[in-house]
C-alpha cells in the first residue's frame, strides 16, 4: 500500500513538472523579440540627460598625467617585463610612503591589463592598466613565507616585483635577495601588494598567515596615477627598463 502511494505521488510530481515545462515552453514561444540595430532611433531626451555626464567623464579620462618615452610593454612569457617593472616600482614607491619600513613589492602578470603607449599618459590609460577596485595592502611576513613567494615565482616563470632579485636555474632558486641581502628564514619582512592577492587570488597561498596586515583605502590605480604624476613633477618621464631583477637560467 505504501509503495502504491509512493508511486502515485511520484507520478503526480512528474505530471506537474511536465506541465510546468510545457507551459514555460509555450510561454516562450509566444514571446516577441526585437532586433537592436542602427535602425532604432535614439531618444533625444535620454541623450540630453546623460550628455553632460558623458562629457565630464571623457574630459577626466583624457586628462594627461604623464609621458612615456617608449612603449612600455607586457610579456607574460618572460620572467620580467617593462610594464611589470614599472608597475612593481610604482607599488613599492607608494608602499614606502605609507610605511618607510616596506622593503619589497609583489604583483602578478595577469593583474596588469594593458601596456603604456609612447607619448601622453592619460587617466583613461591608467584605468586600462588596472580596471579593478583593488586597494594597497602591506603585509609583514616571515622569511619562510618570502621563500614560499620565491617558489611561486619559480613555478610561474617570474612575476612583477621590486626590491627583490631572483635568479632561477634549472627550475630551482639559485639566488634570492631582498634589498640586496639573502633571505633570513627567521627574519621579518614588510611587503606591499594589493588586497586581491593578499586574499589568495591567483592561487597564492604564501600570504595565508602574515604576522600583520594593513589594508589602505588607496586604490591601486590611484597609486599608479600618483606615481606617474610624481615623475612629472620632477620633470621625468616614464622610462622602464629590464634590469635582471628576475632571471631564468636554463
Residue 97 lies in a domain: yes
Residue 130 lies in a domain: yes
Burial of 145 (0-12, 13-18, 19+ CB in 10 A): buried
**Mean pLDDT for the stretch of residues 77-93:** 97
The pLDDT score that the predictor gives to residue 23 is 47
The pLDDT score that the predictor gives to residue 15 is 45
Residue 74 lies in a domain: yes
Residue 4 lies in a domain: no
Reading the block at residue 65, the C-alpha cell is 598625467
CA pair distance 187, 143, nearest whole angstrom: 5
Count of domains observed in the chain = 1
Neighbours of 156 (CB within 10 A): 16
Q: Closest Cα partner for 159 from 90, 106, 204, 197?
A: 106
Residue 18 lies in a domain: no
Q: Contact at 8 Å (CB) between 95 and 156?
A: no
Q: Contact at 8 Å (CB) between 106 and 150?
A: no
The pLDDT score that the predictor gives to residue 132 is 93
Q: Contact at 8 Å (CB) between 118 and 71?
A: yes
Query: Could you report the per-residue pLDDT of 100-135, keeping only the tens digit for each?
Result: 999 999 999 999 999 999 999 999 999 999 999 999
Residue 150 lies in a domain: yes
Residue 243 lies in a domain: yes
Q: Which domain holds residue 73?
A: 64-249
| CATH code of the domain containing 178 | 3.90.780.10
The pLDDT score that the predictor gives to residue 29 is 58
Amino acid at each position: 500500500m505504501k509503495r502504491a502511494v509512493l508511486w502515485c505521488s511520484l507520478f503526480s510530481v512528474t505530471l506537474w513538472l511536465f506541465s510546468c515545462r510545457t507551459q514555460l515552453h509555450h510561454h516562450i514561444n509566444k514571446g516577441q523579440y526585437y532586433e537592436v540595430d542602427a535602425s532604432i532611433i535614439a531618444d533625444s531626451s535620454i541623450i540630453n540627460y546623460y550628455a553632460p555626464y558623458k562629457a565630464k567623464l571623457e574630459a577626466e579620462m583624457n586628462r594627461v598625467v604623464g609621458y612615456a618615452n617608449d612603449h612600455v610593454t607586457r610579456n607574460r612569457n618572460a620572467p620580467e617585463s617593462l610594464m611589470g617593472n614599472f608597475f612593481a616600482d610604482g607599488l613599492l614607491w607608494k608602499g614606502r610612503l605609507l610605511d618607510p619600513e616596506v622593503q619589497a613589492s609583489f604583483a602578478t602578470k595577469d593583474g596588469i591589463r594593458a601596456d603604456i603607449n609612447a607619448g601622453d599618459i592619460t587617466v583613461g590609460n591608467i584605468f586600462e592598466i588596472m580596471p579593478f577596485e583593488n586597494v594597497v595592502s602591506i603585509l609583514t611576513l616571515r622569511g619562510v613565507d618570502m621563500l614560499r613567494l620565491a617558489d611561486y615565482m619559480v613555478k610561474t616563470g617570474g612575476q612583477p616585483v621590486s626590491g627583490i632579485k631572483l635568479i632561477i636555474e634549472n627550475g630551482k632558486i639559485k639566488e634570492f635577495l631582498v634589498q640586496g641581502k639573502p633571505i633570513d628564514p627567521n627574519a621579518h619582512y614588510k611587503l606591499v601588494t594589493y588586497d586581491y592577492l593578499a586574499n589568495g587570488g591567483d592561487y597564492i597561498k604564501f600570504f595565508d598567515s602574515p604576522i600583520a596586515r594593513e589594508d589602505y583605502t588607496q586604490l591601486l590605480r590611484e597609486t599608479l596615477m600618483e606615481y606617474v604624476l610624481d615623475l612629472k613633477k620632477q620633470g621625468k618621464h616614464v622610462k622602464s627598463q629590464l634590469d635582471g631583477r628576475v632571471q631564468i637560467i636554463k
